């Protein structure tokens, strides 16, 4: 992951296992005094290859960082509508509706792997969309 902006040591960092934006910030030495921490979601999952930018107050979010550090092509399967879910690779209208229906019946997904419980989603499809989905 690449972190830039108001961190003490901007750069590219490789973290073992699942990471959050906060983990990447910590790897970069922490926030500077000029950081606008309220403009980024420190709890968001950090994705491999992602660019996280920590702005200063008044600075606009970096392009592609609609969720304060989370790439705009990542879809939250717990709150996305059927149309948004269709942005995921291999998810058409029918599977998008199946995801929404499963969520309405069973509640929020606790992990992306829970998509395996949705009829029509197997391990191959899950691997295809895993990096683009979050909870």
- Is 63 within a domain? no
List, edge to edge, every strand of the sheet that includes 2-5.
Answer: 11-12, 2-5, 51-54
- Is 62 within a domain? no
pLDDT of residue 92: 87
- Is 87 within a domain? yes
- Is 11 within a domain? yes
Residues in the chain: 135
pLDDT of residue 37: 85
pLDDT of residue 38: 83
For the chain, list residues with pLDDT below 50: 63-72
Number of domains in the chain: 2
pLDDT of residue 67: 41
pLDDT of residue 119: 94
49 and 82 share a domain? no
Distance CA 85, CA 100 (A): 9
CATH of the domain at 128: 1.10.150.320
- Is 25 within a domain? yes
In DSSP terms, 5 is beta-bridged to 54
pLDDT of residue 43: 85
H or E element: which one contains 19? strand 19-20
- Is 17 within a domain? yes
Its domain, for residue 130, covers 75-134
45 and 90 share a domain? no
94 and 127 share a domain? yes
Distance CA 10, CA 77 (A): 31
């Amino acid at each position: 992951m690449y972190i830039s902006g108001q961190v003490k040591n901007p750069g590219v960092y490789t973290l073992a296992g699942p990471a959050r934006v906060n983990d990447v910030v910590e790897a970069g030495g922490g926030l500077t005094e000029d950081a606008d921490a309220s403009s980024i979601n420190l709890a968001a999952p950090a994705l491999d290859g992602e660019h996280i930018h920590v702005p200063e107050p008044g600075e606009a979010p970096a392009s592609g960082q609609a969720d304060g550090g989370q790439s705009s092509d990542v879809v939250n399967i717990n709150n996305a509508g059927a149309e948004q879910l269709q942005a995921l690779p291999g998810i058409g209208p029918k599977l998008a509706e199946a995801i929404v229906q499963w969520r309405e019946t069973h509640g929020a997904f606790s992990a992306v792997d829970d998509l395996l419980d949705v009829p029509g989603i197997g391990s191959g499809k899950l691997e295809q969309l895993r990096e683009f989905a979050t909870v």
